[in-house]
Structure 1
Amino acid sequence: MANVFVPDGRSIASVGIVRSLGEKGIDVTLGNERRVSAAAFSKYVKNNIVYPSPEKSPELFTSEMYNLIKKEKYDVVMPVRDSTTILFSKMKDRLSDYTKLHIPDYFTLMKGRNKAETVKAALDSGIPCPLTYFNGDGNIKKLKDTIEYPVLIRPCESSGSRGIVYVGSPEELVNEYYKIKNEFGEVMIQEYIPHTGKAYNVSALFNQYSEPRAVFAMEKIRQFPISGGPTAFAESIKGDNIKKYALKLLKDMNWVGVAEVEFIFDERDKKPKLLEINPRFWNPLSLAIHSGVDFPSLLYEMALNGDVEPVNSYQLGVKWRYYIYDVLCFIYSSNKVNRIPEFATFHNVHDAILSFRDPGPAFGSLLDGFSSLVSKERREHVFKRG
């Protein structure tokens, strides 16, 4: 019987992965640093393993994962979140005798995770980006009087818009720069791009030769927080122009496996500008699956067999919602009464969690959400964003 190990049960994407693989008769073992998660309650999960936190105890996590995979010899391991993907990339060669890991090498992965390195790679590939200032420590006081405001201060390594700060004056720039740097480490300064509030994401799968084998584009209609963050509501789109840029960037970086590239459209010149790469699976993964691009199954087949036939077409206009974030979007939105029809859209909308065929994750999501409310650390993780 085919079997796959999926770490990161806490991720929304893990629900889509578990369902995709489980529906095809593949045994799924789920891993997580806590037992309760939405994915853990899926009927497709055969085993649920609790492991040390990859963020707090990376060495212990690495040791336990190596021993587990050496013992169980899963056909494929599919890490989902940043921290586990990074640690597995370091173990990739050591684990090659026991399982398949179709992810980038550590150097390439970190180039995609570090936003400054991503921008530099994009500029080398001719991809339009916001005007960006790197390594501001030595000249931040000089820079503050020469740049055009407003600007954004962005940590080079963070997720979910955490640490991104909008500043509109030289004094604010200096104060916020060092505050964000002290909390997040290396930062960069970018021009603020006037945009509609929506973002546009391209997801792709590359084989071992950095050739694209699947591509999908979506419009990120609502996000939480409203100013910019994880997807709350999205729709599949054609997106040929942003696909072209995303595929070129990833190919030039010698990418292997999955990644998501995010853009916004500049209202001044109507051109897409690169925001970042998510060098892993992405939260609205099930939108691509429902639209006809089954990334988990394709990745599984590619890991085992070396390659797959390209998948470039899919259904347009398919909608996706993560109800928890969408409820928060409604709560924090203005003109709530006028926006009720917009939020009450259910036709052709697939939820990230809710499913009549697999109702367990909805229950698990409620339990996980309750535990988040009573935990200060987890509450801050959700609400402390840009």
Structure 2
Amino acid sequence: MAKNTIVLLNGETIQALAMAKALKESGYNIISICDSIDSYGYCSKHVDEKIIAPSIHEHTNLFHEFFVDWLKTNKVDAIIPMNDFSAEYLSKNKAELGKYTKFLIPDYEVFTKGYDKHKLMQICKEWNYPHPLTLDLSLENYEAVAEKMVYPALIKPNITTGGRGFARVTTPKELIEKYPSIKKDYGDCHVQEFIPPGGAQYKVELFINNGELINATVMNKIRFYPENGGSSCCSISIQRDDLVDLCFNILKTIGWYGFADFDLIEDPRTNEVKVMEINPRVPACIRLSLVSGIDFATMIADATLGKPLQKYEYFPGKVLRYMALDALWFAYSTNRFSTSPAWLKLFGKNIYWQECGGGLKAMLTGSLSGLKKQLNPKFREAKAGLR
């Protein structure tokens, strides 16, 4: 029997390393469609075919023309998106692309209820799910909203990734000064109370099929770079059934199905864990779920193709480190020798590396590319609002 072929869309990402390895071990052929050669996913040894295409984010129309033509002449059994842009693209173009292949993405009306940060906060408010105080912003109302908000606060684009476009404000005047330019650069925005540091931060990953929770994992994010609001560089898998139940209930309320990834923050003032956002695709740290026993990669592929699903056994207590960012954290943090797990403990039974899994070339190429991105002034400026 011929192997099924899976396309990793935006396959240049670091999560493609773990996804390709897991899918390969489950007997799938892998095609990676990338917008960069100098990347983790493009260099993975587990990918059977690699294709360079226009950027979905920067050249959406050009990519769409390319992709539809490519699908017409290539047999593809399923597509799995690797970042927000490719997930949104699949949802928006579900009717057309569905003529040629399969993918597990909610219809766009449902998709935006999770992906749009402000819509998600509105749903949380309506259904009394724990979340930060959040108010809508527009060019017509922002001055009035500025007077109603509690401070400090964050201006957030409704649709963005990785904290891009966020701006921390401490007074109504500052909000009024900063909002118009953020609106111009990033589109519709909202303002949200700033949760002070000191509480834990979590990720909850879930897979829903036919309204049933198939598997879930929870991660405690230990270290970040930059420290106050950056990307996670050290996480540990834990057991928190209460957080899984919370996120599952939200997804049922929205009508979501397939995979989803939540970010949550504990408010140190009340110890309440609050929902922050939903990521509609597998995260960069997906390897932590995989090494903890939950094979979301195979689950997504099998469900997309209508195969029976397996409920995996969860083994929490695994640590995942992202050396490229953890090295930067060590260089800049004043807590470098007081963190737990210890930074200098590089190896151990339950310690894994985010960059690994695709071979030495993928690790070195992707790490260098990631370091260049972190040091790029434009990238740092886009994320500077949290500092």
Regarding TM over 0.5, the answer is yes
1:122 and 2:124 matched: yes
Judge which range, 248-257 or 365-374, deviates more. 365-374
The partner residue of 1:54 within 39, 51, 56 is 56
AA matched with 2:220: E
State the Cα distance separating 1:111 from its structure 2 match: 2.1
Conserved? CA contact 1:82–1:279, under 8 Å: yes
Which residue number in structure 1 is paired with residue 379 of structure 2?
381
Equivalent residues of 2:199, 2:266 under 8 A apart: no
* 3-state SS of paired residue (1:138): coil
Q: Provide the residue aligned with 1:294 in structure 2.
A: 295
Find the counterpart in structure 2 of residue 24 from structure 1: 26
Residue in structure 1 matched with residue 237 of structure 2 by the alignment = 236
CA distance in 1 between counterparts of 2:14 and 2:132 reads 29
- Matches of 1:257 and 1:382 in 2, distance apart? 33
Q: Quick one: distance in 1 between partners of 2:46 and 2:265?
A: 36
Query: Using the alignment, how far apart are the partners of 2:373 and 2:274 within structure 1?
Result: 34
Name the structure 1 match of 2:318: 318
Residue 146 (structure 2) aligned to one of 137, 144, 147: 144
AA aligned to 2:98 is: S
Q: Give the stretch that moved more between structures: 346-355 or 269-278.
A: 346-355
- In 2, Cα distance between the equivalents of 1:384 and 1:246? 29
Partner of 2:362: 361
| Greater mean alpha carbon deviation, residues 65-74 or residues 132-141 | 132-141
Aligned-residue offset at 1:243: 0.9
| C-alpha distance in 1 between matches for 2:266 and 2:370 | 33
Whole-Å separation in 2 of the counterparts to 1:139 and 1:369: 39
Q: Is the 8 A contact 2:6 2:30 kept in 1?
A: yes
For structure 2, which runs of at least 5 residues remain unmatched after alignment? none
Which residue in 2 is equivalent to 1:223? 224
8 Å Cα contact 1:130/1:190 also seen in 2: yes
Classify 1:53/1:93 alpha carbon distance in 2 versus 1 (closer, same or farther; 3 Å): same
Label 1:132 to 1:281 Cα distance change in 2 as closer, same or farther (>3 A): same
Give the partner amino acid of 1:342: A
Q: Secondary structure at the match of 1:145?
A: helix
Distance 2:147 2:61 in 1: 44
Please give the per-residue CA displacement for 1:48-81, whole angstroms capped at 9, x wherever unaligned: 1000111121112112112222222211111111
Cα deviation 1:187-212 (Å, max 9, x = unaligned)? 111112234254111111122x3432
Q: Which residue matches 2:342?
A: 342
Q: What secondary structure is seen at the aligned counterpart in 1 of 2:55?
A: coil
Task: Please give the root-mean-square deviation of Cα atoms over the aligned residues, in Å.
Answer: 2.2
Residue 154 (structure 2) pairs with residue 166 (structure 1): no
What TM-score results when the alignment is normalised by the length of structure 2?
A: 0.91
CA deviation map 1:258-300 (0-9, x unaligned): 1111111111221111111111111110100000111010111
Query: Matches of 2:281 and 2:135 in 1, distance apart?
Result: 26
**In structure 1, what is the equivalent of residue 180 of structure 2?**
178
Structure 1 residue 164: Cα displacement? 1.6
Aligned counterparts of 2:263 and 2:287: Cα–Cα separation in 1: 17
Cα offset, 1:306, TM superposition:
5.4
Could you tell me which residue of structure 2 aligns to residue 100 of structure 1?
Answer: 102
Deviation at 1:240, TM superposition (A): 1.4
TM-score by length of 1: 0.92
1:265 aligns with 2:266: yes
- Aligned to 2:245, the other structure's residue is in SS state helix
Letter in 2 for 1:116: H
**Further displaced range: 260-269 or 134-143:** 134-143
Residue 179 of structure 1 aligns to a residue whose secondary structure is helix
SS at match of 1:259: strand
Q: Which runs of 4+ in 1 moved over 6 A?
A: none
| Alpha-carbon spacing, 1:103–1:341, altered in 2? closer, same or farther (3 Å) | closer
Q: Deviations over 1:163-205 (max 9, x none)?
A: 2222112221211222322221111111122342541111111
- Greater shift in the superposed pair: 25-34 or 282-291: 25-34
Cα separation, 1, equivalents of 2:20 and 2:353: 15
Aligned partner of 2:328 in structure 1 is: 328
Asked whether the 8 Å contact 1:212–1:310 carries over to 2, the reply is: no
Distance in 1 between residues matched to 2:354 and 2:277, nearest whole Å: 23
Structure 1 residues 252 and 71: alpha-carbon distance in aligned structure 2, compared to 1, 3 A threshold: same
Where in structure 1 are there 5+ consecutive unaligned residues? none
Distance in 2, matches of 1:146 and 1:351, equals: 45
